[in-house]
């Protein structure tokens, strides 16, 4: 009965940046270290209820079908689980995502703020933080930690330790600071111990998500750069000369003590306990020094969180047996139905919500043969996407034709146009042959005319006279039902059009590294992505080499796409924004940068002890978990379903 209810909800749901394993977003994507104690933590914790009925205490074990990586600090390739860990470890952002999925200043952090429009077209955000914020080791958090954080992740030195250092490009003086030309970041000022300002470039205004320009996260300067100093002047904030690449390699990248692998001092809801590389398990402990968030001062209720790797074939069994407590972001009809069977048996609770993302095949566009739009389109034509979606989601998903999920407001505003104006690339082997022939894939290995039934692989003569074979190198992951389906529904069709698809199986983190590496030998990847809750396609399709890889993971340089997405960032009116979003989708669809496979109704299955866990389309599991608690006496299953 409950299963039928879920199915009806899925079928009637409104057709709906984090990277993920296509089989489940629990341990995904758009990225561990020596542990100083065992990752097995006793669950015999004392518990107590607060005035709202929430119970403090307990341990929650979260199952992830993807590997949790060693990276505990932002800047490197990250799965969805690692990004969740970052958010749990590093808090006190000046601007946060509200429960209503809007961005606002957090009153627990920001005492006062002003926005000043300057005569030169720039805009200055001045922020005074509270004087009672502390790091987990009790050290006071000051304005210097916020300015240091902004300068760190924008610095040339950060880039030299192979971290992404493009953050901060919208602030005055970024180029000089980022390149190492200057030791001063002109756009920042340290006004006093608890007040700082940041000035945004005129050319970066107006901005659709303008309040996020005032969003800053503190990073522990006394840990990462303990002997360095920041000096304020009319020219900006100057970093002392002892801030070096060698210093960051020691304090960040040292595998035994660096904050990338062992962040001993944090500011968020939780502190780092341990990471076990042998079984991809991370353990976090509630931060007793965390002040809280929003007017209500919300603090986490759950004492310990263990995030562990699970096999998707046995994850539901582990949930039923109690060796994991939360299996989140479950995708695919087979797994969903297993979970609903457990709910019908009274063993677990569940929730569902429409996805703000999609499962996909993604192409690299900087290497042949997928640097050709025609080749990418041909791959799309040889896959029966409707049949694939039906087999994988089993009624819990919808087809999508661009870079969007069925829960996104932009899609809802443009639904009719999307359904009628975007190319659906319906399954057609003859059309695939036609686009390949028109693109010059007409030769065989000897340079003669390709003859169907005689020759196996098409070739194309390149400008230098060489012959390029139509061989697609596919990086795929283990224990993945999406991979299994593609092996039966896509790969066998390739030879029918003179194409060959060669699969290389690897773990998810290795695949992410390849995906985000320009010049990788691989052409094609299968994964999933999500939009929570904002989209920034101007970074995703920027033609600037600095954005290639982690941001622009298609490695595409298309002037039309870059222009239309760049225009989006300056639009304030919602109707204009939605219209420009449709232009973006049309170009994305034409270029066939991805093959969207499905956008579905996500499910979470969890122990009946977990109370008030109410996930939705615009928040990640860790953000929702703040309001939940564990009640050891709760045995009645609950269902929180999308209305």
What number is the average pLDDT over the span 258-266?
Answer: 97
What are 575's two structure tokens? 């109707």
Exposed, middle or buried by CB within 10 Å (0-12, 13-18, 19+), for 72?
buried
CATH number of 95-251: 3.90.76.10
Q: What is the pLDDT of residues 305-337, one digit of tens each?
A: 999 999 888 999 999 999 999 999 999 999 999
Closest CA to 146 of 183, 95, 184, 97: 95
438, burial (CB in 10 Å: exposed 0-12, middle 13-18, buried 19+): exposed
DSSP letter (8 states) at residue 341: H
| CATH number 3.10.105.10 given to 357-600 | yes
What are 447-500's pLDDT values in tens digits?
999 999 999 999 999 999 999 999 999 999 988 899 999 999 999 999 999 999
What whole-number distance in Å separates Cα of residue 330 and Cα of residue 336? 7
Instruction: Report how far residue 443's alpha carbon sits from residue 318's, in angstroms, rounded to the nearest whole number.
Output: 53
Contact 451, 493 (CB under 8 A): no
Residue 643's pLDDT band (boundaries 50, 70, 90)?
low
Check residue 307 and give its pLDDT.
97
Q: Is the pLDDT of residue 44 over 60?
A: no
pLDDT given at position 13: 30
The arithmetic mean of pLDDT across residues 286-311, rounded, is 96
Average pLDDT on 207-235 reads 97
* pLDDT score recorded for residue 53: 81
Handedness of CA 184, 185, 190, 194 (dihedral sign): negative
Q: pTM score > 0.75 for this model?
A: yes
> For residue 619, what are the contacts with CB-CB under 8 A and spacing of at least 6?
97, 99, 101, 532, 533
All structural domains of the chain with their residue ranges: 17-87+267-353+601-640, 95-251, 357-600
Averaged confidence pLDDT in the chain? 91
SS3 211: helix
Q: Is the pLDDT of residue 247 over 50?
A: yes
Supply the CATH classification number for the domain 17-87+267-353+601-640. 3.40.190.10
């Amino acid at each position: 009965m409950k299963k039928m209810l879920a199915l009806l909800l899925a079928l009637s749901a409104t057709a709906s940046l984090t990277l993920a394993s296509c089989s489940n977003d629990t341990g995904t994507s758009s990225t561990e270290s020596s542990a100083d104690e065992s990752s097995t933590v006793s669950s015999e914790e004392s518990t107590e209820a607060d005035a709202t009925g929430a119970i403090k205490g307990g341990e929650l074990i979260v199952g992830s079908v993807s590997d949790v990586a060693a990276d505990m600090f932002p800047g490197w390739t990250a799965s969805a689980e690692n990004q969740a860990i970052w958010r749990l470890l590093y808090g006190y952002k000046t601007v946060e995502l509200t429960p209503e999925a809007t961005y606002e200043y957090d009153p627990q952090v920001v005492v006062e703020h002003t926005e000043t429009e300057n005569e030169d077209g720039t805009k200055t955000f001045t922020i005074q933080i509270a004087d009672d914020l502390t790091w987990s080791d009790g050290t006071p958090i000051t304005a210097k930690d916020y300015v240091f954080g902004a300068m760190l992740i924008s610095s040339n030195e950060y880039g030299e330790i192979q971290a992404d250092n493009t953050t901060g490009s919208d602030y005055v003086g970024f180029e000089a600071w980022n390149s190492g030309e200057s030791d001063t970041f002109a756009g920042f000022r340290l006004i006093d111990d608890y007040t700082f300002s940041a000035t945004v470039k005129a050319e970066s205004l107006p901005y659709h998500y303008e309040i996020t320009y005032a969003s800053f996260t503190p990073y522990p300067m006394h840990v990462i750069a303990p002997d360095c100093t920041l000096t304020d002047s009319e020219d900006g904030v100057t970093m002392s000369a002892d801030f070096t690449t060698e210093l960051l390699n020691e304090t960040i990248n040292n595998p035994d003590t660096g904050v990338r692998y062992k962040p001993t001092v944090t500011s968020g809801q939780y502190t780092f306990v341990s990471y076990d590389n042998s079984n991809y398990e991370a353990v976090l402990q509630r931060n007793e020094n965390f002040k809280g968030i929003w007017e209500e001062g919300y603090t986490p209720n759950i004492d310990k969180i263990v995030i562990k790797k699970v096999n998707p074939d046995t994850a539901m069994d582990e949930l039923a047996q109690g060796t994991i407590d939360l299996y989140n972001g479950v995708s695919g009809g087979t797994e969903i139905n297993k979970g609903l069977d457990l709910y019908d048996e009274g063993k677990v609770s569940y929730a569902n919500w429409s996805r703000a993302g999609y499962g996909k095949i993604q192409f690299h566009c900087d290497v042949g043969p997928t640097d050709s739009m025609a080749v990418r389109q041909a791959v799309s034509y040889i896959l029966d996407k409707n049949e694939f979606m039906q087999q994988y989601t089993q009624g819990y998903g919808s087809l999508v034709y661009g870079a969007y999920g069925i829960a996104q407001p932009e899609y809802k505003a443009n639904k009719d146009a999307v359904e009628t104006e975007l190319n659906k690339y319906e399954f057609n082997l003859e059309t695939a042959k036609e686009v390949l022939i028109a693109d010059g894939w007409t030769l065989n290995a000897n340079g003669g005319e390709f003859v169907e039934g005689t020759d196996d692989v098409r070739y194309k003569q390149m400008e230098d006279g060489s012959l390029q074979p139509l061989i697609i190198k596919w990086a795929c992951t283990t224990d993945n039902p999406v991979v299994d389906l593609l092996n039966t529904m896509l790969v066998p069709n390739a030879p029918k059009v003179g194409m060959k698809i060669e699969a290389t199986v690897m773990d998810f983190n290795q695949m992410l590294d390849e995906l985000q590496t320009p010049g990788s030998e691989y052409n094609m990847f299968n994964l999933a992505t999500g939009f929570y809750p904002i989209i920034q396609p101007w970074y995703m399709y920027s033609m600037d080499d600095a954005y290639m890889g982690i941001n622009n993971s298609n490695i595409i340089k298309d002037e039309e796409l870059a222009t239309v997405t760049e225009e989006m960032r300056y639009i304030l009116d919602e109707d204009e924004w939605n219209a420009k979003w449709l232009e973006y989708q049309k170009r994305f669809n034409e270029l066939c940068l991805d093959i969207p496979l499905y956008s579905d109704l996500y499910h979470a299955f969890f122990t009946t002890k977990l109370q008030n866990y109410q996930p939705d389309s615009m928040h990640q599991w860790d953000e929702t978990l703040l309001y939940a608690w564990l009640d050891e006496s709760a045995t009645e299953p609950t269902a929180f379903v999308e209305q």
